[in-house]
Amino acid sequence: MESGRVALAGLLGRCAAMERLKSEVAQLGPSEMWVHVFGETGTGKEMVARALHDLSPRSRRPFVPFNAAGFTDELLMAELFGHARGAFTGAVAAREGYVAKAEGGTLFVDEVAELSPTAQARLLRFLQEREYQRIGETATRTADVRVVSATNVDLARRVAEGRFRQDLWYRLKTDRLAVPPLRERSDDILLLARHFLRARAAAAGTAPALLSPAVEEALLRHPWPGNVRELGNEAHRLAVRAAGREATLDDLSADVLPDPGSAPAGGLRAALQRREAELVRRALERHGGILARAAAELGITRQALWVKVRRLGLVGVGG
C-alpha cells in the first residue's frame, strides 16, 4: 500500500531494531488499539505516533500532539479538555481543548508519566468512557479519538513504585512499542546524517555538505545522548558550515569532536568493519546494485564482493 510505504519511510533506519519497529508499526497502525511508545528523549517517539496515525483509517482526520509536562492540574485539564468563558482568571473566551481538536483522529499524549494523580484520574475516565467536561461547564461531551501515549521513563516501574495508576497503565499499554536509542543503531548513523544534510540543503537551496572519512568516524564514535534529535542538530550545523563541500573535523561541534587519545567505538576491528560496509554500500549504490561494476571500482572480484555483501548484511542495497 502506497500510504503504508510513505508512513514507514518517515522511520529511517536499516538496523535490525528499526526494521522490527517498522514491522510492528505496520501491524498496529491500521488498528484502533491504544499504543504506548517508550524511548529516550530525542529518539523519535512522535514520528512513530505519526506513522501509526498515517497508517490508520483515521489518517484523513487530525493528528494532534500534546505534551503533558509542566502544567498545573487546572491548566492541563483546560488545555486537554477545553474551558468555558470565565472558568478561571484569564479565560476571556471559551476554548476547545486538544481532545476536541483531535476529533475523529489521533491524540498523541507525550510525557504522560508527568501527569499528577488528579490528572491521571481524569485521563483514565476519558479513556474508559470517551466522555469529558470542559472546565467551567456541567455538560458532558463525547469524543471519538485514538490515544497514543509516550514516555522516556519506565511506566511499569512507576506503577510498582506507586507513582502511576496501574489501571491507567493497563489502559494505555494495550500494546507497547520501544524506540531504540541511537547508540544501539550504529548502522543508521551515517544514513540519518546524510538524510538530514540533504533535507537541510534542499530547504536552504544550497548544495549539500559531504562527509569526510574523519567526520564519518567521529559521528560513529559519538555516543549521541540526545539521540536522533542531537544528530539532526549536528547535521544542521554541518549543512550551514560546509555547504557544497566536504566537511572536516573543524566543522563539528565541540561535543562531537573525538578525543585524540580515545580508541574507536567498539575497537579497531569494529571501526574497520563499519568503514568497509560504508565503502561497499556506496559502490553498490553508485552502480545500481550491479556487483561486477561495484567490484571493479573496489578492486576485488565479483565473488569476493558477494561474500562481503552477505557478511555485512547489504543484500539488496542499490538494487
**Which of 1, 111, 101 lies closest to 46, judged by CA?**
111
For residue 242, give the DSSP letter: T
* Averaged pLDDT for residues 228-257: 92
Burial call 262-282: b when 16+ CB within 10 Å, e when fewer: eebbeeeeebeebeebbebbb
pLDDT of 57 strictly over 60: yes
pTM score: 0.77
pLDDT confidence of residue 267: 59
Instruction: Name the residue with higher pLDDT: 294 or 251.
Output: 251
Grid coordinates given for 6: 510513505
**Which of 118, 195, 125, 158 lies closest to 38, judged by CA?**
158
Residues 65 and 82: their CA atoms lie apart, in Å, by 15
CA atoms within a 13 Å half-sphere pointing along the CA-CB vector of 272: 3
Kindly list the distances between the CA atom of residue 209 and the CA atoms of 150, 218, 235, 246, 256, in Å, as whole numbers in the listed order. 34, 16, 9, 6, 17
Give the angle 187-317-46 at the CA atoms, nearest 5°. 50
pLDDT confidence of residue 1: 42
Q: Are 36 and 173 in contact (CB under 8 A)?
A: yes
pLDDT confidence of residue 278: 76
Range with top average pLDDT, 99-103, 264-268, 303-307: 99-103
Query: What is the tens place of the pLDDT at every residue in 39-50?
Result: 999 999 999 999
**For the chain, what percent of residues have pLDDT higher than 70?**
89
pLDDT confidence of residue 271: 63
* Averaged pLDDT for residues 272-277: 72
Q: Are 209 and 250 in contact (CB under 8 A)?
A: no
pLDDT of 263 strictly over 50: yes
The average confidence (pLDDT) of the chain is: 86
Grid coordinates given for 16: 535490525
pLDDT of 265 strictly over 60: no
pLDDT confidence of residue 264: 57
Domains of the chain: 2-180 (3.40.50.300), 182-262 (1.10.8.60), 267-319 (no CATH)
pLDDT confidence of residue 47: 95
Residues 222 and 193: their CA atoms lie apart, in Å, by 13
Query: What is the tens place of the pLDDT at every residue in 138-178?
Result: 888 899 999 999 999 989 899 999 999 999 999 988 889 99
